[in-house]
Amino acid sequence: MKTAVCVKRVPDSEARIKIAADGRSIDEAGVKFVLNPYDEFAIEEALRLKEAAGAGEVVVVSVGGDASQETIRTALAMGADRGVLIKTDRLPLDPLPVARALADELKTGGYDLVLFGKIAADDCSHATGAMVAELLAVPSVTAVSKLSVAEGKLSAEREIEGGVEVVECALPAVVTAEKGLNEPRYPALKGIMAAKKKPLEVKPVTLSDPGIEVAQLAYPPERKAGRIVGEGADAVPALVEALRLEAKVL
């Protein structure tokens, strides 16, 4: 079983976002960057599948700048075997050029399964995994919360509004991971040390032109200042009245 896991370096979800002077990007100074949280589920799943099979390879692939090497090393520390950085200094907001670069890398790799996190915590496009699958013309299931792989086939569950879809396909396939798919392991010290010696190949790439241009990055509008209706249970009638008569939501 040969699995690729595509990962991204993103700001920590607890980080405050500061907009840069150009008004089109974020100020990265002082921002802690991490492995995209959803990608952790993808890596964990790949490692479990390899462990269950008793053989195989887990390759971590990322599109990004040099700093993404650190992100790949985090995945290697969890237990992946080797990494590939598809190096570009400018990640566009349009997911298609990134999906094309990943598909180009993956198509000759002989992978049985390609895993992604379902969404990146920075651009929130939830697009790249499904796009790569379409470009590779292989079946795919997105936002998967339960996965089983056996005899060249997979069965997956994905949550929808008010239900769960059960989806099946043959390998090779692309799967994107939803939170809850598994409980990702923390890299152990031994893993961190080993990761330093694992192969990490850097391949410079020129991405295709994006079809979307950034005009501006801004903070969301401030909410109008609210008010404290009161303290304790005695404030409840006033709250209900405000919700009925002022806000008109009851």
Q: Is there binding between residue 14 and other proteins (CB under 8 A)?
A: yes
Nearer to other proteins, 20 or 202 (CB): 20
Q: Is there binding between residue 199 and other proteins (CB under 8 A)?
A: no
Residue owning tokens 């960057």: 33
Residue owning tokens 């040099």: 66
Q: Is there binding between residue 57 and other proteins (CB under 8 A)?
A: no
Smallest gap, in angstroms, from Cβ of residue 54 to other proteins? 26
Please state, in angstroms and rounded to a whole number, the distance separating the CA atoms of residues 141 and 81. Answer: 24
Work out which of 141, 147, 149, 195 binds other proteins, going by CB under 8 A: 141
Work out which of 1, 194, 207, 229 binds other proteins, going by CB under 8 A: 229
> Which whole-number Å values give the CA distances from 172 to 51, 100, 128, 140, in the listed order?
19, 18, 17, 9
For residues 211 and 201, the answer to whether their CB atoms sit within 8 Å is no
| Greatest Cα pair distance in the chain | 68
Work out which of 17, 67, 188, 202 binds other proteins, going by CB under 8 A: 17
Smallest gap, in angstroms, from Cβ of residue 187 to other proteins? 19
Window 142-181: residues binding other proteins (CB under 8 A): 142-143, 145, 156-170, 173, 178-180
Which part of the chain contacts other proteins (CB under 8 A), choosing from 1-9, 13-21, 57-65, 83-91? Answer: 13-21
Q: Is there binding between residue 182 and other proteins (CB under 8 A)?
A: no
Q: Is there binding between residue 219 and other proteins (CB under 8 A)?
A: yes
Smallest gap, in angstroms, from Cβ of residue 211 to other proteins? 3
Please state, in angstroms and rounded to a whole number, the distance separating the CA atoms of residues 134 and 204. Answer: 24
Residue 148 tokens, joined: 């089983």
Cis amide leading into 172 (omega within 30): yes
Q: Using CB under 8 A as the criterion, what x/- string covers residues 95-124 for binding other proteins?
A: xx--x---------------------xxxx
For residues 159 and 176, the answer to whether their CB atoms sit within 8 Å is no
Residue 150 backbone dihedrals phi, psi, to 5 degrees: -160, 145
